[in-house]
């Protein structure tokens, strides 16, 4: 019996040492993030958290609200698209609740409806009316949730590689995010999840950007380093677990999706099924264009075509900003 106790004690000590090493590695990686990708905009408190946002361009121009995807940040748009649009549009570019320099009070705010409500709260505070919602990937699902929540509020939807319905065949790039146990994901977030993510970054980025190469400056200019923090890992896991509830949003399309617009997909998207997520939305008036030989990360890899797409949508449905 005494031997068993000694063995168990040694195992506990070893586990503690192992977790302690992971904790120190995580703290070191996280400490470098603010200097690599500093806060770019302002932070507004809203019910359920706070939203980090940029407000660029002429105040009397049509408004584009730009919402990034899973594990992403506003830098996916500021990488190139904002410079191509800011002279002709008012741009409100957000870190989704819990992402980047935004925060949320807890896992409940990972819900698509909650994220939609929080972003509407920000837009109300900024006096934004009739915006074009530009959503990429999971940001497309949030944009759709915003549209069904307030059918008459958006001028249009310009969705880039959006999640629109439940994803029946998730990519292997997301295998490490399927973590239902909250205690386990919190433990891993503060110990080994970040060092492991850093060591596998090349493989993950290869899969996310496939078939296109990912840019060498993605960690800084593209905001990728912001994921090297415990709360960022937790937010991404919570967002991934909540993404399945896009079905709750899609069930409202028939009655509530009245916003016009269009969809743009890379024909070789490795993360989402183009026919399911894009072409299937034509019945709601959202036609889908395909870009040959392009993948999922279009705002970064093909900012020119994304910008032209957004301009076409805005030219058809947007109006100059209204004062409130």
Higher pLDDT pick, 231 / 115: 115
pLDDT grade for 10, boundaries at 50, 70 and 90: very low
Instruction: For the chain, give the percent of residues with pLDDT over 70.
Output: 90
Tens of pLDDT, residues 189-247 = 777 678 777 778 899 999 999 999 999 999 999 998 898 888 898 999 999 999 888 99
Mean pLDDT across the stretch 157-181? Answer: 88
- Structural contact between residues 137 and 61, judged by C-beta atoms closer than 8 angstroms: no
Nearest to 170 by CA among 240, 71, 114: 240
Token couple for 272: 């989402």
Segment among 6-15, 28-37, 226-235 with least mean pLDDT? 6-15
Query: What is the SS3 assignment for 42?
Result: strand
Mean pLDDT across the stretch 173-189? Answer: 80
Tens of pLDDT, residues 265-286 = 999 999 999 999 999 999 999 9
Nearest to 302 by CA among 204, 161, 96: 161
For residue 269, what pLDDT is reported? 97
CA–CA dist 118, 111 (Å, integer): 11
Would you say residue 291 has pLDDT above 50? Answer: yes
For residue 162, what pLDDT is reported? 99
CA–CA dist 101, 186 (Å, integer): 19
Instruction: For the chain, give the percent of residues with pLDDT over 90.
Output: 71
For residue 157, what pLDDT is reported? 99
For residue 67, what pLDDT is reported? 99
Would you say residue 4 has pLDDT above 70? Answer: no
Would you say residue 19 has pLDDT above 70? Answer: no
Would you say residue 30 has pLDDT above 90? Answer: no
Tens of pLDDT, residues 41-61 = 999 999 999 999 999 999 999
Mean pLDDT of the chain: 90
Mean pLDDT across the stretch 8-37? Answer: 63
Characterize the bridge pairing of strands 90-94 and 132-136. unpaired
Higher pLDDT pick, 233 / 289: 289
Structural element, H or E, at residue 91: strand 90-94
Would you say residue 11 has pLDDT above 60? Answer: no
Triad 133, 137, 81: Cα angle to 5°: 60
Would you say residue 16 has pLDDT above 60? Answer: no
Domains in the chain, please, with CATH?
A: 38-169+243-317 (3.40.50.1820)
pLDDT grade for 23, boundaries at 50, 70 and 90: low
């Amino acid at each position: 019996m005494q031997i068993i106790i000694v063995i168990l004690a040694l195992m506990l000590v070893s586990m503690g040492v192992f977790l302690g090493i992971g904790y120190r590695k995580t703290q070191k990686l996280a400490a470098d993030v603010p200097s690599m990708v500093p806060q770019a905009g302002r932070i507004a408190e809203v019910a359920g958290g706070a939203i980090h946002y940029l407000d660029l361009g002429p105040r009397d121009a049509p408004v584009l609200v730009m919402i990034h995807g899973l594990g992403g940040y506003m830098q996916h748009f500021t990488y190139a698209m904002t410079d191509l649009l800011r002279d002709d549009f008012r741009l409100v570019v957000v870190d989704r609740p819990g992402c980047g320099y935004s925060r949320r009070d807890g896992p409940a705010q990972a819900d698509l409806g909650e994220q939609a409500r929080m972003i509407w709260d920000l837009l109300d505070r900024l006096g934004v009316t009739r915006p074009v919602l530009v959503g990429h990937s999971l940001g497309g699902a949030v944009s759709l949730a915003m549209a069904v929540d307030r059918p008459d509020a958006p001028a249009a939807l310009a969705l880039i590689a959006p999640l629109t319905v439940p994803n029946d065949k998730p990519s292997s790039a997301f295998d490490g995010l399927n973590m239902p146990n909250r205690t386990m994901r919190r433990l891993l977030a503060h110990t080994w999840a970040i060092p492991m993510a850093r060591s596998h970054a090349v493989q993950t980025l290869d899969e996310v950007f496939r078939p296109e190469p990912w840019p060498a400056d993605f960690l800084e200019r593209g905001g990728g380093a912001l994921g090297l923090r415990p709360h960022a890992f937790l937010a991404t896991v919570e967002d991934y677990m909540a993404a399945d509830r896009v079905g709750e949003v899609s069930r409202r399309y028939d009655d509530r999706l009245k916003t016009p617009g269009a969809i743009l997909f890379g024909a070789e998207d490795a993360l989402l099924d183009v026919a399911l997520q894009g072409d299937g939305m034509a019945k709601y008036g959202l036609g889908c264009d395909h870009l040959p030989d392009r993948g999922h990360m279009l705002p970064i890899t093909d900012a020119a075509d994304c910008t032209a797409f957004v301009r076409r949508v805005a030219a058809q449905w947007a109006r100059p900003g209204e004062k409130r």
